[in-house]
Structure 1
């Protein structure tokens, strides 16, 4: 099955099996309102089925860490991964963003998409 692609004003979302992968546009602010749209897509696609989310950061953009507080309340969202080849982006996600997610065991940072997919599959 080929991944389904959904285009949004702030980036593209790809649905593959039980993983939602987002590639956001350069320079956007990923805020609580944008996150609500992603959570709605997750609820619609996966229903009550467990799934994981990957933020594939190929572009540079800002993330409001408050999005993680809301995401933590989604019972079937079992894992969040951040993927970036940029070391500073990874350090920021690990050092700042991860602190806002209630379950640190289910938030990890990776250099490659393949590593993130493999990890999410072990969680869900």
Structure 2
């Protein structure tokens, strides 16, 4: 069964789709993603994924920068991983660099479907072990 969208959210800096086991964010072109943006994302985590495992997927259709130090924040223990869907080699290489800052599972992909499958597998594996 194909996962359906639970909710679509528009923020001033991003569009977000909430699914049962993951969320997909698309940040606006040219944005410098900093702490206030992260706090807004955390509010979404809290609202839709409180107390249950999930994966965050970044759909990098647009070019933007993220302060990689933000990836060191580990306050969400139920965030099982971050998947990044890339559309260019430069974006993929940036994701590989960002991966070095994140202590959990962090994987770049070139296809959204592969990323969604990875996300669902992380949640399934977590649920089997707990």
Same fold by TM-score greater than 0.5: yes
Q: Tell me the alpha carbon deviations over residues 57-112 of structure 1, each in whole angstroms, 9 at most, x when there is no partner.
A: 00111111122111x22111001011011111101111x20111013xx1000001
- 1:69 aligned residue: 72
Counterparts of 1:20 and 1:50 in 2: how far apart (Å)? 11
The TM-score, its normalising length taken from structure 1, stands at 0.92
Equivalent residues in 2 for 1:1-124, closer than 5 Å: 1-70=4-73, 72-94=74-96, 96-103=97-104, 106-124=105-123
Following superposition, the deviation at residue 32 of structure 1 comes to 1.7
2:5–2:20 Cα contact (<8 Å) kept = no
Counterparts of 1:67 and 1:13 in 2: how far apart (Å)? 19
Q: Root-mean-square deviation (CA), in Å?
A: 1.1
> How many residues are aligned here?
120
Secondary structure of the structure 1 residue equivalent to 2:5: coil
The TM-score, its normalising length taken from structure 2, stands at 0.88
Off by >3 Å, runs of 4+ in structure 1 = none
Counterparts of 1:24 and 1:73 in 2: how far apart (Å)? 22
Counterparts of 1:41 and 1:67 in 2: how far apart (Å)? 16
Counterparts of 1:80 and 1:13 in 2: how far apart (Å)? 14
Secondary structure of the structure 2 residue equivalent to 1:48: coil
